[in-house]
Amino acid sequence: MSDDFDEMDEIWALYADDGAQALDAMEASLLALKAGEAPDAHVGSLFRAVHTFKGNSRVLGLSVVESRAHLSEDLIGLVRDEGVAMDAEIVEILLFASDVLRAMLEETAATRADVDPSGSEVLMEQLQDKIARCRDGGEAAAAPDPVAPAMAVEVAPPPPVVDVPPPVAVEAPPVVASPAPAPAPVPDPVVASEPAPAPARAISRLADDPTYRAIFRDMAQGALDKFAAQLARFAAEPGPAASLARSEAEGLKHAAGQMGLDDWAEALAAFLSGSIDPETLSALVLRLDDLMDAPPQVPPQPAGDRPFFEAIADPLSRLSHLGIRIATGETPAADEIESAVAAVRASAAAEGYVRVVEALDALRGAEGNEAFRTGELKLYEELSAVEAIMPEAAAAAGISPRKMLRSWCAGHAFDTLSTLETVLNTLRTHAGDAEFRRFDRLMRLVHHACEHHSIDTAAQLAMSLVDLFSRVHSSGVAPDAMLLHIARGFIETIELALDAIEQGEKPATEVLERLFEEAANVCFLTDGLMTAGAIERRLGLPSEFHRVLSPDSVRSAAEELEKGKRFYIVRTDINDDDRIAEAFLEWLSGDQARSITNVTVFRGAETLFDFLVSSRLDEPDLIEALVRMDPSGRRLKLTQALWPSEAEATDPTEIPGNAPLAQGAAITPEMLETIGEISASQAMVHHLLAELAESDLAEEMETLMRQSGWDWGVARTSVRAMLDIHAARLQEIAQAETALTAQLAALQEETVSLRARPASTVLRPLQTFVETLARRSRREARLTTAGDELPLDLSLLERLRGVLRGLVAIRMEPAGGGAAQLHVSLRRDEERVIVMVQDDGGPQADTPAFTDLVAGIKRLNGSFRAVPVPGGGLRFHIGLPLSMVVLEGMVVGVDGVRYVVPVDAIRTILQVEPEMLMTISAAGGQRVLRISDSEIVAIHRLRGHPLEGGRDRPWPPLRRVFVILGNAGRSVAIPVDELVGQQLVLLRLLRGVLSRLNHLTGLALLAGGDVGMVLSANRICEPQAAEAV
Partner 1 sequence: MPYNVMIVDDAAMMRLYIASFIKTLPDFKVVAQAANGQEALDKLAAQPNVDLILLDIEMPVMDGMEFLRHAKLKTRAKICMLSSVAVSGSPHAARARELGADGVVAKPSGTVSHDLEEKTGDELARTMRTLMAA
Name the residues that contact partner 1, by CB under 8 A: 206, 209, 211-212, 215-216, 250, 254-255, 258-259, 352-356, 385-386, 388-389, 447, 460-461, 463-468, 470-471, 474-475, 519-523, 532, 547-553, 556, 574-576, 578, 581, 585, 588-589, 595-600, 602, 605, 607, 609, 611-612
**What is the Cα–Cα distance from 544 to 434, expressed in whole angstroms?**
40
Q: Least distance to partner 1 from the beta carbon of 78, Å?
A: 28
CB 31 within 8 A of CB 59: no
- Tally the C-alpha atoms within 13 A of residue 951's C-alpha that lie toward its C-beta: 10
CB–CB of 468/420 below 8 Å? no
Q: By C-beta, is 587 or 769 nearer to partner 1? A: 587
Least distance (Å) from partner 1 to the CB of residue 425? 21
Distances (CA, A) of 850 to 244, 502, 733, 855, 865: 72, 30, 59, 9, 12
**How far apart are CB 219 and partner 1 at their closest, in Å?**
9
In whole angstroms, give the CA distance from residue 19 to residue 25: 10
φ/ψ region of 925 (left if φ > 0, alpha if ψ in -120 to 50, else beta) reads left
Of residues 440, 439, 463, the one with CA closest to residue 450: 463
- C-alpha 743/C-alpha 673 separation (Å) is 10
Residue with smaller CB distance to partner 1, 475 or 632: 475
Our CB check for partner 1 shows the closer of 115 and 462 to be 462
Smaller CB separation from partner 1, 458 or 964:
458
Q: Is 283 helix (H, G, I), strand (E, B) or coil?
A: helix
Choice between 468 and 498, CB closer to partner 1: 468
Min dist CB 258 to partner 1, Å, is: 5
Q: Is the Cβ of residue 87 or residue 358 nearer to partner 1 in the bound state?
A: 358
Q: For helices 481-502 and 760-776, give the axis angle rounded to 10 degrees.
A: 30
Using alpha carbons only, give the angle 1012, 1013, 1018 rounded to the nearest 5 degrees: 140
Looking at beta carbons only, is 254 or 991 nearer to partner 1? Answer: 254
From the CB of 815, what's the least distance to partner 1, in Å?
41
Q: CB of 158: closest distance to partner 1 in angstroms?
A: 26
Decide whether 547 or 951 has the Cβ nearer to partner 1: 547
Q: Which residues pair with 973 in a beta bridge?
A: 939, 964
Q: What CA–CA distance (Å, rounded) separates 843 from 807?
A: 13
The answer to whether 403 touches 382, Cβ cutoff 8 Å, is no
Instruction: Name every residue whose Cβ is closer than 8 Å to that of residue 33 and which is 6 or more positions away in sequence.
Output: 39, 42, 46, 86, 91, 147
Q: Give the total residue count for the chain.
A: 1029
C-alpha closest to that of 940 among 880, 998, 986: 998
- Beta carbon of residue 243, minimum distance to partner 1 (angstroms, whole number): 15
Nearer to partner 1, 466 or 887 (CB): 466
Closest approach of Cβ 647 to partner 1, in Å? 22
Smallest separation (angstroms) from partner 1 to the CB of 138: 39
Cα end-to-end distance, the chain, whole Å: 79
Handedness of CA 684, 687, 689, 695 (dihedral sign): negative
Residue 204 per-residue DSSP state: S
Q: State how far the Cα of 428 lies from the Cα of 852, in Å rounded to an integer.
A: 18
Per-residue H/E/C for 571-636: EECCCCCHHHHHHHHHHHHCCCEEEEEEEEEEECCEEEEEEEEEECCCHHHHHHHHHHHCCCCCCE
Of the pair 372, 611, the CB lying nearest partner 1 is at 611
Measured from the CB atom, the residue of 515 and 905 that comes closer to partner 1 is: 515
Supply the DSSP symbol for 380: H
CB of 322 to partner 1, least distance (A): 25
Nearest-CA neighbor of 69 among 136, 120, 143?
Answer: 120
Query: Shortest gap between Cβ of 393 and partner 1 (angstroms)?
Result: 13
How far is it, in rounded angstroms, from Cα 773 to Cα 630?
69
- Where are the strands (E) in 52-109, listed by range? none
Nearer Cβ to partner 1, position 37 or 351?
Answer: 351
Taking the least distance from each CB to partner 1, the nearer of 18 and 517 is 517
Q: Positive or negative, the Cα torsion across 456, 462, 465, 470?
A: negative
Name every residue whose Cβ is closer than 8 Å to that of residue 669 and which is 6 or more positions away in sequence. Answer: 647, 649
CB of 452 to partner 1, least distance (A): 15
A 10 A CB-CB count for 368 gives 11
CB of 551 to partner 1, least distance (A): 7
Q: Which is nearer to partner 1, 601 or 744 (CB)?
A: 601
CB of 561 to partner 1, least distance (A): 16
Backbone dihedral angles phi then psi of residue 564, each to the nearest 5 degrees: 75, 25
Q: How far is the CB of 471 from partner 1 (least distance, A)?
A: 6
The CA distance from 618 to 565, in Å, is: 9
Say how far apart CA 60 and CA 12 lie, in whole Å: 8
Decide whether 512 or 980 has the Cβ nearer to partner 1: 512
Q: How far is the CB of 591 from partner 1 (least distance, A)?
A: 16
